[in-house]
Amino acid sequence: MVRHYFVLAVKVLLRRKFFTFISLFGISFTLLVLTVVAAFFDHAFGPGQEEPRQNRTLYAERTLMHGPHSTSGSSGGFKLFDQYARDLPGLERLSLHENGHTVHTYLDGRKISSSLKRTDDEYWRILEFRFVEGTSFGTADVAEARFVAVINVATRDRIFGGQPALGQTFEADGQRFRVIGVVENVSSLRTVPYADIWVPYTTAKTDAFKREITGDWNAMALAKDTASMAAIHEEFNSRLLRVELPDPKEYKALVAPFETRLATFAREMPLTDRKDPESQVWRFVGLLTLLGLLFVLVPAVNLVNINISRIMERASEIGVRKAFGAPARTLVGQFLVENILLTLIGGAVGFVLSIFVLQAITDSGLFTYARFTINLRVFGWGMAFAVLFGLISGVYPAWRMSRLNPVQALKGGSR
């Protein structure tokens, strides 16, 4: 029976080759875009190479102070997390690290720019970097403010010409560091592990940052298990109420939640309520879905048009099937399957094209060190989009088809 419908579906597609071509072209293109977007999201938010524990990690990255006349946003301050985020219930580890800064190394008349991140030792225990040489700095290095650094392969290439760098020194932003580890490059889209150079935070030029409630710092909280994440989030929010704000006349409240990776991103999107400490993820997902539907709407409408006229061409066949007792549901199913077959083919074509497109984006170097790849997850998303697209563009024509009066269909149907 499946073979019957499959064979018929293929024949129908081949009958009007031009239409099929146009439809396939539009579908492939649409699904190409959707697959590339899915790969992008997977790369930026999915489980990353260096972040195997992401599913039980919370991040506090943006703070917002607001008062009656003004609002001020920035990253957190060292003091905010150091004083209020330790010993949260359900917390296994806490790491504090600074936003990356661009620093320059002057070497033989060349200027080498790198992104430098100051971190604590817990950073290396929560994340899992791939070391090609040496190791990370530990508790003692941080405590004694040793001028040691971990660099990535790209930096090793630029400063040391690709030679083994362990034990060598280099200068950045006027300070001299000794290399104790070299790691694989991390994509700039993975904002937490990304940097070119990592150094202990205690090597900072001044320690004014230690007294700031808002500043340039982020906190990463590894929960004991996924169940504890909510408790961490709640408890920290309640502690925020007790924080002494730097300018109490100007600002009355502080918002700085511990959130999942996606939530930190969702908070920054337009149309979200940044002042609300609650999660904005659903709004973000809703917005994305809406945009996705709008995007898909135009090609779907084209397909609906083409499908309806195809139905009219097959009026004879429909009339016969109805005369011989086909229930409406079966007819709808038949048509939907035919349509989904078309969109799956389009999805497969779009998928293959997306491999090339992603390779091109990777090669363009648009996003530093990012390597966009297709994995099983992205493939699954691509096929899911194809099926969804087939449903959206097939349901209405299929419904129309099932409502055709058999007598009319048979009459008008020898054309």
Partner 1 sequence: MIQLNEIEKVYRTDRIETVALADVNLTVAEGEFISVMGPSGCGKSTLLNLMGLLDAPTKGTVQINGSPIANYSDRAMAALRNRDIGFIFQVFHLVTDLSVLDNVQIPLLYRRMSNADRRKHAEAALDRVGLSARMHHFPSQLSGGQQQRVAIARAIVGKPRILLADEPTGNLDSQMGDEIMNILATLNREDRTTIVMVTHDQQKAALTSRIVRLFDGRQVN
Partner 2 sequence: MTRHLLRLIWNRKRQNFLLTVEIFFSFLTLFGVVLIGMQYANNARHPVGYQIARVWSIGVDRKEPAGDPAVRARHRETYDQLVRALSDMPEIEVVAAGFTGPYSNSNWGSGTDLTGGRSVNFGVNSVTDGYRDLFDIPIAEGRWFSREDDAATWKPVVINRRLAREIFGEGTAVGQIIPEAPDRDNPPPDPAAAAKRQSKRVVGVIDEFRQDGELSAPQNYLFYRMRLDYEDPEANLPERILVRLAPGTPASFEESLVKRAMAVAGAWSFEVQAVEDMRTDKLRSYTTPLMVVGTIAGFLLLMVGLGLTGVVWQSVTQRIREFGLRRAKGATIPNVRTQVLSEILIMTSLAVIAAVVLLAQVPLLPLPRDLTGIPASVFIASIAVTVIAIYVLTLACGWQPSRLATRIQPAEALHYE
58 binds partner 2 (CB under 8 A): no
Segment contacting partner 1 (CB under 8 A): 3-11, 75-83, 108-116, 195-203? 3-11
Indicate which of partner 1, partner 2, none lies near residue 68 (CB less than 5 to 8 Å, by partner kind).
Answer: none
- Please tell me the distance from the alpha carbon of residue 210 to that of residue 40, in angstroms, as a whole number: 36
335: Cα within 13 Å, side-chain hemisphere: 30
Indicate which of partner 1, partner 2, none lies near residue 204 (CB less than 5 to 8 Å, by partner kind).
Answer: partner 2
Q: Which of 174, 134, 139 is nearest to 156 (CA)?
A: 134
Site for partner 1 in 205-234 (CB under 8 A): none
- Please tell me the distance from the alpha carbon of residue 39 to that of residue 31, in angstroms, as a whole number: 12
1 binds partner 1 (CB under 8 A): yes
- Please tell me the distance from the alpha carbon of residue 14 to that of residue 165, in angstroms, as a whole number: 62
208 binds partner 2 (CB under 8 A): yes
Residue linked to tokens 């700085």:
256
16 binds partner 1 (CB under 8 A): no
Site for partner 1 in 309-348 (CB under 8 A): 316-317, 319-328, 330
Radius of gyration of the chain (CA): 29
* Those residues with Cβ within 8 angstroms of residue 56's Cβ, 6 or more apart along the chain or in another chain: 222, 223, 224, 225, 226, 228, 229
Residue whose CB is less far from partner 1, 148 or 409: 409
205 binds partner 2 (CB under 8 A): yes
Tell me the two tokens of residue 63: 């703070």
**Integer CA distances (angstroms), 141 to 130, 149, 181, 305, in order:** 20, 10, 13, 68
For the CA atoms of 221, 224, 226, 232, the dihedral, rounded to the nearest 10 degrees, stands at -50
Residue whose CB is less far from partner 2, 174 or 365: 174
Alpha helices, DSSP H, located in 315-375: 315-323, 328-364
Site for partner 2 in 108-147 (CB under 8 A): 109-111
Site string for partner 2, 175-204 (x = CB under 8 A): -----------------------------x
Site for partner 2 in 262-301 (CB under 8 A): 298-299, 301
Residues that bind partner 2 (CB under 8 A): 18-19, 22-23, 25-26, 29-30, 33, 101-104, 106, 109-111, 173-174, 204-206, 208-209, 212, 298-299, 301-302, 304-306, 308-309, 312, 414-415
Residues that bind partner 1 (CB under 8 A): 1, 4, 7-8, 11-12, 15, 316-317, 319-328, 330, 405-407, 410, 413-414
